[in-house]
Amino acid sequence: MGDITKEFNIKGMICSNCIKILAIEFKEIDAEIIDIKLGKIVLRYNPEKVSNSTIEKIINNNRFEVIGVREDILAEQVKKLIIEYVWSTDLQDNLSDYITNRMNRNYDYLSKVFSKIFNKTVRQYTILLKVERTKELIEDGQINFSDIAYSLGYQNSSALSRQFKNVTGINLSEYKNHENSKRIPIDKI
């Protein structure tokens, strides 16, 4: 029997380190990576040497999960886009347009699927990500609160501060002066 090529959609694969970890592990079992990106890996392997259960075990042992249901895949794609939006854009664009343009699907449908799979709305998830991004930018110390607010799409630092306090229970200054970071890893949000 010859090599086969198979695509795996993976839940929880949200950063470049996730890609690196899986790339190393699949190389160790002689599974050739044809394509790897956030949320997806395409492998070529000999099924006589490497079983699907071995592949799934590697994925699960790294705290990821193979997903197959179409709605799960869509929700993961939306999640990845929200993360990309919060970390990589100027947030002056509308999030729903950002998602719709990249997925070429109806935003209302995608939003409902996201809420169903993750038990929170796109808006709630985006706010949580913005709070974590704010924490990161505060700890980095390179820009002031007003610039952080603007970079995250807020009208002013007061709006950001209110939302930050609603989520964390403390204001921006208190967080900045707190010695111990209380950041939440993105994959735990």
Its domain, for residue 45, covers 4-68
Whether residue 42 is found in the same domain as residue 133: no
Domain boundary among 19, 50, 68: 68
Whether residue 86 is found in the same domain as residue 33: no
Is it the case that residue 83 has pLDDT exceeding 90? yes
Whether residue 57 is found in the same domain as residue 94: no
**The predicted structure's pLDDT at residue 1:** 59
Handedness of CA 66, 72, 77, 83 (dihedral sign): negative
Strand partners, 41: 8, 36
pLDDT digits (tens, 9 = 90+) for 14-53: 888 888 999 999 999 989 999 988 888 999 988 888 888 8
Whether residue 89 is found in the same domain as residue 147: yes
pLDDT bracket for residue 132 (50, 70, 90): very high
Q: How many residues does the chain have?
A: 189
Q: What's the per-residue H, E or C state across the chain? A: CCCEEEEEEEECCCCHHHHHHHHHHHHHCCCEEEEEECCEEEEEECCCCCCHHHHHHHHHHCCCEEECCHHHHHHHHHHHHHHHHHHHCCCCCCHHHHHHHHHCCCHHHHHHHHHHHHCCCHHHHHHHHHHHHHHHHHHHCCCCHHHHHHHCCCCCHHHHHHHHHHHHCCCHHHHHHCCCCCCCCHHHC
Average the pLDDT over 87-93 and give the result: 73
Domain boundary among 34, 51, 68: 68
- Phi/psi for 29 (5° steps) reads -105, 15
Whether residue 13 is found in the same domain as residue 101: no
Domain boundary among 17, 34, 68: 68
Whether residue 64 is found in the same domain as residue 75: no
* pTM for the full predicted model: 0.72
**The predicted structure's pLDDT at residue 164:** 94
Q: Which CATH number goes with the domain that contains 59? A: 3.30.70.100
**The predicted structure's pLDDT at residue 107:** 94
Q: Which CATH number goes with the domain that contains 132? A: 1.10.10.60
The Cα 82–Cα 76 span in angstroms is 10
**Weakest mean pLDDT among 14-18, 80-84, 105-109, 128-132:** 14-18
Whether residue 132 is found in the same domain as residue 96: yes
Number of structural domains the chain divides into? 2
Average the pLDDT over 113-125 and give the result: 93
Whether residue 182 is found in the same domain as residue 106: yes
Whether residue 108 is found in the same domain as residue 154: yes
